[in-house]
Amino acid sequence: MLRVAVVGSGPSGCYTAQQLVQQDPEVRVDVLDRLPCPYGLVRYGVAPDHEKIKSLQASLRTVLEHERVRFLGGVRVGGPGGVPVKVLRGLYDAVVYCVGAATDRHLGIPGEELPGCWSATEFVAWYSAHPDAADAGFLRDVRSAVVIGAGNVAVDVTRMLMRGAAELRPTDMPQGALDTLAESGVGEVRMVARRGPAQARFTTKELRELGTLPGTQVLVEPGDLALDPAGPETLPAVQRRNLEVLRGWAEQPPSGIDRHIRLRFFLRPVELLADGGRVGAVRFERTAPDGRGGVTGTGRYEEVPAQLVLRSVGYRGVPLEGLPFDEASGTVPHLAGRVVRDGVASPGEYVAGWIKRGPSGVIGTNRPCAKETVASLLADASEPARSDVPEDAVPALLAAGIEPVVWDGWLAIERAEAELGARLGRGVVKLADWDTLLAVARSSQPPSQPRP
């Protein structure tokens, strides 16, 4: 019988476990996650007001509740206090790393280190109740914000900045973040892209949603749209539809509404300017199409006031100690999901999801990605089984001082979040700190037992 560890319980980890149990009638899968809560970015990234996408957690749940799958939360692999990659490898026939792309890219411009400039990741983690996130005073004294980027995450954070209490209350957002967002004095958010609307990566549905926010008008400068050399007829369908939406907003007469989302294009940030020890403005250089799909600077500059700057210019994987890592792509080198060490596929080590192919695609893209990896794993597993793999890895983890949060512990967290929501007159409200999550999980889960 094959014993497999899947590291990471996000979409790619869950789809990997699903493929394994569907394709091998005997395999046993442990899904390890450093957090006590499963589902990765579906819980800690997908915007709280996107309930339909959030509800994908229900289908990931059925995977983790499968009789041959076991969730072991609170188990970090690699790094300080974590299970070393080599040790984990010794506890299973195969290990599949599905650890995502946990960090974000920098702008690389002066002033980026100023208080008030954050990554969208940090902001998202805060309103999503990630236990590593802190309330960094994101919205203190903020009247206008700049979001740099033109993807769906940039749209998400722009929208969350403009949502009011009535729309936030039905979400599972932690109460502290809800109060802060609902009471914020942000009256203007500029979402700014280096290139033109034809290169923007947001999807039309998400873009259009910005125009539905109560009490907020979306403003687009007609001049920004006119700059794009490509005729709409030459564009792919998504970009063509985006342009139609943007043109509609550009042609709107002023409404008298004083809360605005301004969508700007062809502006490259060159410096963040300080005011009173924190960000006060962003200096942009106007860009122009270079005729090859990129942009070039024009030497003309403009300054935009902002007390909050969120950069959303892409995610990046982080190296996991003991695993090879390609700095250029921010991924683990692989061949059809097999981890490649020193140019050759390393026996029993695999990757899937964002750490395998980089941060691209939607949640569903992780399914075929996991399928490819599992096909490689099962093809390799036809070789003679190892005899030195223990029946159950948990005793070894306990001996190393790591007590996993098992499924009952997670269910206790779910119950506590429902109870908290009921007390606050809301639906489910997420718990946001390590101590509470672990105390709740450990108070009700039976001591970890070796698998019978």
Ligand X SMILES: Cc1cc2nc3c(=O)[nH]c(=O)nc-3n(C[C@H](O)[C@H](O)[C@H](O)COP(=O)(O)OP(=O)(O)OC[C@H]3O[C@@H](n4cnc5c(N)ncnc54)[C@H](O)[C@@H]3O)c2cc1C
CA atoms of 142 and 94, how far apart (whole Å): 50
CB of 284 to ligand X, least distance (A): 24
CB of 82 to ligand X, least distance (A): 6
Shortest CA distance to 280 belongs to which of 244, 250, 253, 304? 304
CB of 365 to ligand X, least distance (A): 6
Which residues partner with 341 through β-bridges? 344
Closer Cβ to ligand X, 213 or 281, answer by number: 213
Backbone angles phi, psi at 296, to 5 degrees: -135, 150
CA atoms of 283 and 62, how far apart (whole Å): 49
Closer Cβ to ligand X, 111 or 149, answer by number: 149
Residues 6+ apart with CB under 8 A from 342: 324
CA atoms of 370 and 22, how far apart (whole Å): 12
Contact call for residues 316 and 101 (beta carbons, < 8 A): yes
Ligand-binding annotation for 398, yes or no, is no
CB of 364 to ligand X, least distance (A): 7
Closer Cβ to ligand X, 156 or 188, answer by number: 156
CA atoms of 273 and 308, how far apart (whole Å): 11
Query: How would you write 108-144 as a 3-class SS string?
Result: CCCCCCCCCEEEHHHHHHHHCCCCCCCCCCCCCCCCE
Ligand-binding annotation for 41, yes or no, is yes
Closer Cβ to ligand X, 320 or 412, answer by number: 320
Ligand-binding annotation for 194, yes or no, is yes
Ligand-binding annotation for 363, yes or no, is yes
Ligand-binding annotation for 415, yes or no, is no
Ligand-binding annotation for 332, yes or no, is no
End-to-end CA distance of the chain: give it in Å, rounded. Answer: 14
Contact call for residues 92 and 389 (beta carbons, < 8 A): yes
Closer Cβ to ligand X, 287 or 312, answer by number: 312
Closer Cβ to ligand X, 50 or 66, answer by number: 50
CB of 195 to ligand X, least distance (A): 21
Ligand-binding annotation for 206, yes or no, is yes
Chain residues that interact with ligand X, rule: CB under 6 A: 7-13, 32-35, 40-41, 45-46, 50, 53, 76-78, 98-100, 102, 124, 153, 156, 315, 320, 353-354, 361-363, 366
Instruction: Tell me which residue has tokens 């899904």.
Output: 31
Between vectors from CA 431 to CA 430 and to CA 432, what angle results, nearest 5°?
110
With both helix axes pointing from N to C terminus, report the angle between 11-23 and 366-380 in degrees, rounded to the nearest 10.
40
Ligand-binding annotation for 362, yes or no, is yes
Closer Cβ to ligand X, 13 or 289, answer by number: 13
- DSSP type of residue 232: G
Closer Cβ to ligand X, 50 or 341, answer by number: 50
Q: Taking CB positions, which residue lies at the least distance from ligand X?
A: 10
Ligand-binding annotation for 354, yes or no, is yes
Amino acid 57 reads: Q
Ligand-binding annotation for 273, yes or no, is no
Shortest CA distance to 209 belongs to which of 142, 152, 284, 130? 152
CA atoms of 222 and 249, how far apart (whole Å): 9
Binding site as annotated, residues for FAD? 12, 41, 77, 354, 361-363
Residues of the binding site:
12, 41, 77, 194-195, 206, 354, 361-363
Which residue ranges are tagged as binding site for NADP(+)?
Answer: 194-195, 206, 361
